[in-house]
Amino acid sequence: MMRRDRVDHVAVAAMCRTAPGEWQPVGEYNSRQSADGAAGYIRNARINPPAQQSAYAPAGSFEARRTLTEFGARVEARYVGDSNDAARKPAEVAS
């Protein structure tokens, strides 16, 4: 089994937010199941323990996809925003 570097999900989420709608690499995983777990974590903004906040919050603000590779599966994510996400609301103009 090949050892992989840990994914910096905070950095990935920030990169996605700077380029909404564009797919960004998350990482390559040894198995399809591990990649599916990571993709679910991204889409659902899930984290353990629940007291922490996910870098991908709020849930539904990111999409994730998995592609099988020669060595496992690659995960990519993109920011799609959310109506409840403050980053998507237009700034108010002072008059």
Q: Mind listing the pLDDT tens digit for each residue in 24-77?
A: 999 999 999 999 999 999 999 987 666 678 999 999 999 999 999 998 999 999
- pLDDT reported for residue 53: 84
Number of continuous H segments (helices) and E segments (strands) in the chain = 2, 3
Q: Within a domain: residue 1? A: yes
Q: Within a domain: residue 93? A: no
Q: Within a domain: residue 49? A: yes
- pLDDT reported for residue 70: 93
Q: Which residues pair with 63 in a beta bridge?
A: 78
Q: Within a domain: residue 70? A: no
Report pTM: 0.77
pLDDT tops 60 at residue 95: no
pLDDT tops 60 at residue 84: no
Range of the domain at 10: 1-57
Distance in angstroms (rounded) separating the CA atoms of residues 36 and 19: 23
Q: Within a domain: residue 84? A: no
Distance in angstroms (rounded) separating the CA atoms of residues 75 and 26: 5
Tally of domains in the chain: 1
Q: Longest C-alpha distance within the chain, in Å?
A: 61
